[in-house]
Amino acid sequence: MLQLCEARTRPTDEEEGFTLIELMVVVLIIAILLAIAIPTFLGARSKAEDRAAQSNLRNALTAEKTYYVDSQAYTDNTSSNLTNIEPSLTYLGSVTPTVGTVAVTVNLTGDTVTLAAKSASGTCFYLQDSTTTGTQYESDTACGTDAAGAYTTHW
Higher-confidence residue of 104 and 68: namely 68
Q: How far apart are the first and last CA of the chain?
A: 96
Taking the C-alpha atoms of residue 110 and residue 145, their distance in angstroms, rounded to an integer, is 18
Higher-confidence residue of 127 and 10: namely 127
Lowest mean pLDDT segment, chosen from 2-6, 13-17, 18-22: 2-6
Mean pLDDT of 31-48: 88
The tally of CA atoms less than 13 A away on the side-chain side of residue 149 is 12
- Amino acid at site 77: N
Mean pLDDT of 77-98: 74
* Interacting residues of 109 by C-beta distance below 8 A, sequence separation 6+: 150
pLDDT at residue 21 in the model = 93
User: Quick one: pLDDT band at residue 28, thresholds 50, 70, 90?
Assistant: very high
Global pTM? 0.67
Give exposure, 2-36, as e/b (b: 16+ Cβ within 10 Å).
Answer: eeeeeeeeeeeeeeeeeeeeeeeeeeeeeeeeeee
The tally of CA atoms less than 13 A away on the side-chain side of residue 81 is 19
